[in-house]
Chains A and B, each alone.
Chain A
């Protein structure tokens, strides 16, 4: 088999393995078997994605694998795999206590793989329309999963997410149509006018006014999915009320996918000299998310909501970094995105088991975890230290890079940035101390937690803080330069 053909099959595998497993999992009763199949399918997808580093096809009209998106795909499939491992032990407990039924579990597994397929499609799509469709499918599958417990609060959260997500996606489609209008007069009608590769190449010739208008809609639309500050209302509810593996995937992956869409359009905008610079808009939204979430973190009473607000904060930092642009800030943004995905999903793995052990998500009833559940307690504490940005963990590294690159270019912007970071740092540590230490309170049940994915993520984050291997640094630098 030639190199080209092999690459093509790998891309197809990344899409088809999860898509076909979704169909298969919908048919299989028995949660043990389907949980294993879920893991297996995720592992196979990860293997195919990792192989794309070496072998990749030439970009076609619909699919593309380039240096930029391969990073996102591998991160996506990796966290997808570890979450499926966590999910297997999580759902066993949910079934035991009767929060999920065997039928809803079948549905859950099918949706999990459908979500993975949709996210991978959004990442490899070389057509802005196709990418939009993929993001929409990803949204719908997560809406269904957020509402799976069918409690009052879960239904409210799913409904809110559905309405706000659909509006966001509608605006993004309008932006996509305007981008097509801009490119049609240069490239001509047809599929080519919606391909990334063509858009980026011809960007300098596009009508700047149309591009400006399109970007505003795209920023509002995909920005809603990223959870940027004025548009974030769905995010805490959706994270808090759905099953915890879904919170991990939402926070760690889906937000990245939406941000990736925005970054692609940012590259088009940056290619046109007369168009509005996308940077200031992204910087403003990023900063406002960071500051807003920093304040909100203090007033949380629900452990999953707490970390949902922390996701808003970190997406704000990442958007800020990409808004600053330039090789250094982009590098910092990429690194921070990777670190956030790994750390935040690890935290949600821990939180899921903690909530099961305590039978509640209320922060006031979760006390003294390091005494009652030492392994989970210390792991959660380490995760919170990591996400708050304590040295020597990876998030500290990337936040330090964001701050230092901002100081070098726009010292004034660094002031609110540092203020927001410190605000969030204080809030998270204050909350974490309450959770981890003190007299254990309330009920405490044993859980069969599989902490392997949790420790694996934390080990990676620690490693990244101490030493990032040379090839990875070079790869990220290369991608950062491409992002412009």
Chain B
């Protein structure tokens, strides 16, 4: 047997407070602060017990409520001063904020009820055009297999100066470092060609690491590699999180 928990979703502390005021059928200009503070705090307790994240803003308003409550308990110092105008109700600022929020909440509801494009009303050619804007127009994407990459690898190797190949590179470079470097550079540029990724580092070790890093990133589906036709430029792009 399971429990059915019905929870109201609140957009924030002001929303919760408005809900409590409505539920108790309270006059917003004369909020019984003790009652509301109690209910507000017990609501937060409930949210916590349900393991919901209670955002910091909820706690800020809780503190504000308690502050107002304590202020209302204290005799106002201004009462003793004669000729002084009535002192501000400690609740007034909060009431103002609530009223303002209420109007925007209504505005949001009204906006949502309008006939929305792509939800209620449609213009000509609604479907295809908007969804394909991100794709490059000049190139047809052809997904690459590993062999194409290997081929590209060899093509670059073969252009290397033979003497340079004889050098022993003692610099240690881990695959993880290379992967991170590629991700960093892609995060900045979004799309790069294989040649660009190699940069000027035309030694075998670097090319090898770059190549391995790309394979690993492809396996992890962090990047997409594609090519416009055979022998075309190989492009590496970051997979966008959706």
Q: Are A and B a genuine interacting pair, yes or no?
A: no
- A interface with B by C-beta (< 8 Å): none
- B residues near A (Cβ < 8 Å) are none
